[in-house]
Every structure is written in C-alpha cells, then in structure tokens.
Structure 1
Amino acid sequence: MCSPRIVRVAHESAETSRISRRAWLGAAGLGALAAASGPAVAQAIPVRANAVIDLTHVLSAQLPVWPGNSPFTMVPVAWHDHGGFGQNALVLWEHTGTHLDAPSHQVRGGASVEQLAADDLVAPLVVVDISAKAAADADAELTVSDIARWEAVHGQIPDRALVAMYSGWERRLSDPGAFLALDAEGRPHAPGFAADAAEFLVTRRNIVGAGVDTLSLDPAASRDFGAHTAFLGAGRYGVEMLANLAQVPPTGATVIVGAPKHVGGTGGPCRVLALT
C-alpha cells in the first residue's frame, strides 16, 4: 500500500505534469524509510501438530474430588444487565479437577507453583497403559516391570519427559461412587504409581513430571504416599486426573501443562494439552 506522501505526489503529477523523476524517487524513499523505521511485525512460530488433544476435565460441582475436599463452586457476582460485564467468583481447593501437584504439596520448603521452570512444562509425553490390570484390580500399580515392557516396545523413555499412567479410570466418571471406590472405612481405591517405579523414573530416566488419570499419583489406598514422596521430593511435579489419555499415542506426543502461577501455591487446576 502506498504511503499518503506518495499518493499526494502522484496526484500532483497527474494534475500538473511537472513533477520530476527526482521528486518521485524522493517520495518513494520517504515511504521506504517510514516502513523501515516502523515497528517490526512479529512472526508467529508455527505449532507443528496433526492434532491437539485436550487432557483436561471440565470443572464442575459434579466432578469427583478427594474425600473430605469441598467440590468446585462458581457463584455469579456481576451480570451483563448491570454494568455490561459478567463475572463469577470461584471457590475451589487447589487440588481439584485436572490439577498440578507442586513439590511443596508434599515437601516442606519445596518449590511452589510459581517457582516451577517454564521449560519443564513443555515435554515429551509418554503414556504407559495399565488399563487391563486396573480393570481387574482397583489397587493396581504401575511398576518397574510395566516400564520395562513399555521400553521393550517403544525404546527408552526420553530425557525430561512427562510419564503418564493410563488406567482407564475416567470410564467410571459417570458413576462418582465407582470412581472413588470407597471401602467400608471410607478410604478410596484407584490405581497409581508404585513407589519404586516413581523412584526409577526420577533417578534413572530424569523425568520432569508424572501424570495419572486418577485422583492421586499413588494408589488411592496408600498410607505412606511413596510415589508422591519420590516425585515431589526430587523436585518433580505431578498432574492428577488427566483426561483422554486413550487418545494419545504411547510415545511421540508433546505435552503442554498450563500450570497455575499463584504465589506459594501447592498446586492448582491446569489446562493440559497433548500435541500429536
């Protein structure tokens, strides 16, 4: 598009036929100078992905939470008919829905959410499927043997990956009672990482974090929370209650963890995306 200066010179030339070639070049130079001295246009970096899979559950009051935690609540506090804007107040515990566990959730003095390195929130995604044994055993664990079988097929887990357990537990969400699977003592039951598998992933595979499609990194009935201790104690993070892991290939995807960033946070709901 021509600058106003060039348009004006061209118009005067048509009217008077007296403009010189030097004037034309000068006008063009002014336009080029203006373009060169103006702000550069930022170039978007393309995200190369065949598909983007949302690994996040929709937050609602109906979504199961850890026994004893309050459910998610949303209260309208502003309305479009009064002032032109709508707004809700949110009431929730940090560890609600698809959420992140920061090291400080388990470790006194550990890193809180705002201290997590941004580089660690974008990582190769590994999905280890234990859904067959989880269907037969609510207390199933992802073990070192499961990791060895996965690596025999897919190769060694890449450095600085996020390793996610897929147990198929989200198929129970239509029945919150079945999802929590409380026993007579009120203790929940659901699959999770075995403590030695968590330790192996931290010390031998240098992962950035671990994920599960259940409410806890540990089997829900655990009393010592060994997987939490191994992951969070080593400065790694966890992501609990992931969705749609069955749609993600065992390897080759990249995960983006949209972690919360509030000062001193031990965790919080996050939007998690897999790029395949």
Structure 2
Amino acid sequence: MTALQEWEKPVLNNGQFLCFVSRQLALALAIFGLALAAGGCVFAPAQSFTLQAEVPADFRVKADAYYEPATGEICEAPPRQRGEVAPNRKFFTSEFQSIARTAEFQIPLTTRAGGCPLVLSSLRLNLRGKWGLARLDGSNDFASLSFYDELADGRPGFPATGVQEFQGQCQWLFRTIGPNRNIRKILHCRAVDAEGEMVKRMAGGVLQRDQLPGRTVRMVFSLAKEEEPYMGDNWIRFPQGWKRCLGKSLEDQYAFCRGNTTDFKPFKMPDGRTCTVYPNCTE
C-alpha cells in the first residue's frame, strides 16, 4: 500500500478507511449533500466509546491505547520516530485530585497511520496513587482491556443498558527500605470476584469491538480499608498494629521473622517519626 498523496483525503465507511477522494470532490459532495456512489464510499465519523475510570482520592489515571492493522490488512503502521509518539498508540491522562472521582476519556476505535487502517487492539490503564507528600511518594499498578472482532462462544454480549462495568480493588502494601528502615508503599490492584474479594488476575476484561461505538465502559476501583505487608514473614500482627521483626540484627535489612515473635525493631514513618508499630506508630 502506497503512502497517501497530498491530494488524497481518507473516507470512512462504517468506521473503516476504504477509499480516497480528492479534496475538491469531497468539498463538492459536502455542499450538495450527496453520497459517493462509486466504490460504495460514504462519509461517516470515526467511531469511539467512552471510557470511565472511577478511582479513589489521590489517584491519577493514564490510558495507553494500542492499535493494530484491521483484519485482512497486510500493511503495517510506520515505526516510531525519535522524540514522537508511536503512530499506533494514543495516550489519555487525568490529573491527581484530593477526592474520589471519575476520569472520562473518548477512545477512538479506529485510526490510520502511514496509509494503514488500524483498529483498537488493547488498552492499558496505568493507575498511580500517592501515599505521601514528596514527589516520589507514590506507586503504580495496571488494569487492561482487550478488543476483538468477535468474542468466544458463550461470552455475554454488551449489556442492554449501554454500560459495561469491570470491578477492581487497590491496596497499599507496606515495607521498610534502607538502613534507617524507612516505610515505603507499593500499590497492588487486582480484579474482584462476585463477593468483592480481590483475586489474582489483573482488573479488566475483553470486549467485542463492533459492540462499542457510542457506548460506555466503566472501570471501578475501590481502595482496601487495610494495608498489608509487601513481603511475608517480615512483620507480625498484634492488636495494636504490625511490628517489624528484628531478624539477625538491627542492620539486617531483610529481617525475616523465622518464628521469633518477641524481638522487633523500630522504623521510620514517611513524616520522619520513629515508630514501633504500624500504622499507629506507638503502642
């Protein structure tokens, strides 16, 4: 497939780029309100769907949409040029807010790069949460949506409400780092089951592309009420909170408990306090 000439204008048919007409002819057809009968080409807007991401306070959402050649196409999107976004990717970003809210994006289902018709293949949702005031006091995790021409037999179709919802939950996992045993947190986001319990798989799901135009996909993320240790056998839970095991010595940064439930060591909270129990600091 050759590159687009300067005089050519892409025309959409049912969301797919199927033919080209000159700019002058396109203008004339628009003036007279006529359809282009030759070749069966018609004018239609690019199709898209609404992506909504409901996130807790102090979270930011970035959506990375990846496009690939439409079924039956033998063309390829051109390679990424230095300093530019790859032609087969689109990015959508929200900002941090101090309250829980819903970020909303319009996601195109089709695009074109270097003369090659592309369709939406996957979408990666980057969730970043902030647990402190410093610039680096945050952590990321991901959710994912995949898009197909058709879904496997037995999968339900798009809801009659026009809204498909996927549930997820995020949880903060805490650990200590460095010789001063500074508390740091890692974000952990996963899908939830029918009872609202976190499961091992990433939040998200699969969707049939031709069911999406004009519809809404909601990704709803709650935040677990309790934090948990990032690694096992480093902390022991007591009624007043978690205590950091001593390990071999105060200098032992790995400090596995290994059955020792009586010897512990202090650590530093993000605000600089030296504490003995997490998250309450003091017993």
Instruction: Please indicate the TM-score interval, normalised by the length of the shorter structure.
Output: under 0.3
- Report the TM-score when normalising by structure 1: 0.19
- Higher RCO by CA contacts (8 Å cutoff, separation 6 or greater): 1
Higher Rg = 1
More helix per residue: 1
If the length of structure 2 is used for normalisation, what is the TM-score? 0.19
- Structure with higher strand content: 2
